[in-house]
Amino acid sequence: MSNENTFVASPEAKAKATKFRVIAFICWILAMAGQVYAIFNLISNEMLTWLIVAIVIILILAVTGNILWKKSNRLDPASEKDGFKFFLQNQLGAIMGILAFLPLVVMILMNKDLDGKSKGIAGAIAGIALVVAGVSGVDFNPPSVEKYTEEIQNQTKDLADLNVADDVYWAKAGNKYHIDSDCYHIRDNAGVTRGTVKESFEQKGISELCKTCRKNAEKARLLPVEEAE
């Protein structure tokens, strides 16, 4: 693995990831607090409606935390070298989602103050919420420093195959990098940045060459030298 092209999250990406992680933890803490309140105050036949409302709010908080956590991992991924840390960082949302509901589900099913109908309704809704919160936190294709590094190296090799230098451009609002600063997709855009494929990936997560630029590069590569000049 080339050290030159090893992925390193940019300071901007790290700062954004930290912000997402802080908000995610706040969401999870609020979800846990809501669960504690529901366990001690809402598990009864008379409070069934409010218990269901609480379950919905807890679910929204848990899922929001999961989404933000996964976004943070895409900005600042873990390395696969430390297997436990890699697993924990990428699947923490699933763990927190389950913890936000499992005690509540157990307490609903064990509670003697709920009649059979109320217990069935509350237990089913809480059980479904537990599954949704858990699954929404699972990252089925977790990002990693190694995967990002491989992607950067593949993109750099792609440019080399096109006989193009690793000198590209990308716009603030774009999702592709360009090898021609005069490409019509970016020439009128403000805030065009110039750098390497690695930098475009680290700063914007861009991993695809503009199709127009690719077509022009392939055409130039096929032209005789005198025509290309």
Residue 177 is predicted with a pLDDT of 94
Give me the pLDDT at residue 206, please: 86
For residue 219, name the pLDDT band (cuts at 50, 70, 90). confident
Residue 224: pLDDT over 60: no
The answer to whether 16 and 74 have CB atoms below 8 angstroms apart is no
Q: What is the CA radius of gyration of the chain?
A: 25
Could you give phi then psi for residue 203, rounded to 5 degrees?
-85, -35
Give 81 or 226, the one with higher predicted confidence. Answer: 81
10-15: which pairs have CB atoms within 8 A and are 24 or more residues apart?
10/199, 10/202, 10/203, 12/203, 13/75, 13/76, 13/202, 13/203, 14/75, 14/76
pTM here is 0.84
User: Residue 170 has what pLDDT?
Assistant: 93
Is pLDDT above 80 for 228?
Answer: no
Task: Look at residue 4 in the predicted model and tell me its pLDDT.
Answer: 67
Residue-level pLDDT at 189 = 84
At 104-142, the pLDDT tens digits run: 999 999 998 899 999 999 999 999 999 999 999 999 999
Write the pLDDT tens digit of every residue in 52-102: 999 999 999 999 999 999 999 999 999 999 999 999 999 999 999 999 999
pLDDT digits (tens, 9 = 90+) for 21-31: 999 999 999 99
Q: Which is higher by pLDDT, 161 or 4? A: 161
Cβ burial 50-77 (10 Å sphere, 16+ → b, else e): ebbebbeebbbbbbbbbbbbbebbbbbb
- DSSP class of residue 79 equals P
| Count of CB atoms situated within 10 Å of the CB of 42 | 21
Q: State the Cα–Cα distance between residues 208 and 151, nearest whole angstrom.
A: 10
Q: What pLDDT, on a 0 to 100 scale, did the predictor assign at position 229?
A: 42
